[in-house]
Amino acid sequence: MISSMTGFGSVTLEVLGTTVQVEVKTVNHRFSEISTKLPKPLYSFEQEIREILKKRIQRGKITLVINFTNQNDVPSNEINETLAVKYFDSLTKLNAKLGISEEVKLDQILAFPDVIIPHELSEEEQVVFIKEICEGVEKATDKLLKMRLDEGKSLENDLVKRIEILEKTLVEIYEITKNASADIRENLTNKINNLLNDNSVIVKERLELEIAFLADKADVTEEITRFNSHNKLFLETIKTSEAPGRRMNFLLQEMNREANTIGSKSSKSEIAHFVVTLKEEIERIREQVQNIE
């Protein structure tokens, strides 16, 4: 089953008195790229957290955000009173200088860096803390992957329908072109026989070779056969491959090549119409595949 590269998952945890919000989201990207936004206490655990995402998500631009939503309310946190007073004095002087009558509020002071000193965890608390944070990242990733699979199912249904359109279009092209080689050979032969007399044996033999060559060039049976083979491989890739996006892109390139060849070989206007249909559907499939892992 295919998986979309677009997804989102979030969980809220209570860890040692602190509410922790974990959010993971992914969007399509050619490779795997991880970015994180972590609270300061988690800086030293960033690599451990990244490894979770790296193991579970193969492709896409991955963004992880972890917030401590009520850290400031934890009783064990301390206030750097000396620094808070300095900020208060500075803001009071600035207000006076600018002619602002509004009083300096406590939440303004607490918002400055290093005014709140987080509680230093013991070694045992650190083990529990990071364990529960990592479990939260795992759970958020579970939700993200489920969303990616659900969207992947919708993508799969759409892709199968578009491959069916390609197959039907190729049948139409085959029905129009299956006798093209014989028709060209017959028409050219009749025209040449009318122009040459019976004594031009050598010239006629040479021209017959040229006629055969031109007739074969107009035959698109091989291109249709290869195109159908690519269609079959594409459908197999949807069902059986892990992270099939790159293989799908390669098959689409080959399909487009066959469509171009069919168009260049055929002189009939009906074929040109069907070739446009092929190329339009290939492009629609390509757009969808860009979001497949």
Whether 190 has a pLDDT exceeding 50, the answer reads yes
Query: Are 84 and 182 in the same domain?
Result: no
| Relative orientation angle of helices 245-265 and 221-240, to the nearest 10 degrees | 170
What pLDDT, in 10s, does the model give residues 112-144?
888 887 666 677 777 888 999 999 999 999 999
63, 95, 116 - which closes a domain: 116
Total structural domains in the chain? 3
Whether 260 has a pLDDT exceeding 80, the answer reads yes
Residue 277 lies in domain: 150-289
Give the long-range contacts of residues 74-78, CB within 8 A, separation 24 or more: 74/17, 74/18, 74/118, 74/119, 75/17, 76/17, 76/119, 77/116, 77/117, 77/118, 77/119, 78/116, 78/117, 78/119
**Is residue 2 one of the residues assigned to a domain?**
no
Ramachandran class of 99: left when φ > 0, alpha when ψ lies in -120 to 50, beta otherwise: left
From first CA to last CA, the distance across the chain in angstroms is: 11
Question: 208 pairs with which residues across the strands?
Answer: none
What pLDDT, in 10s, does the model give residues 19-66?
899 999 999 988 889 999 998 888 889 999 999 999 999 889 999 999
Whether 82 has a pLDDT exceeding 80, the answer reads yes
**Is residue 236 one of the residues assigned to a domain?**
yes
Quick count: other Cβ atoms within 10 Å of Cβ 80?
Answer: 15
The pLDDT value recorded for residue 74 is 45
Query: Are 281 and 179 in the same domain?
Result: yes
**Is residue 1 one of the residues assigned to a domain?**
no
**Is residue 266 one of the residues assigned to a domain?**
yes
Query: Are 136 and 212 in the same domain?
Result: no
Q: What is the mean pLDDT of the chain?
A: 85
Indicate the pLDDT class of residue 73, thresholds 50, 70 and 90.
very low
Query: Are 36 and 93 in the same domain?
Result: no
Indicate the pLDDT class of residue 217, thresholds 50, 70 and 90.
low
Query: Are 36 and 155 in the same domain?
Result: no
Taking the model in full, what pTM does it have?
A: 0.68
Quick count: other Cβ atoms within 10 Å of Cβ 37?
Answer: 10
Query: Are 27 and 94 in the same domain?
Result: no
**What three-state secondary structure class fits 198?**
coil
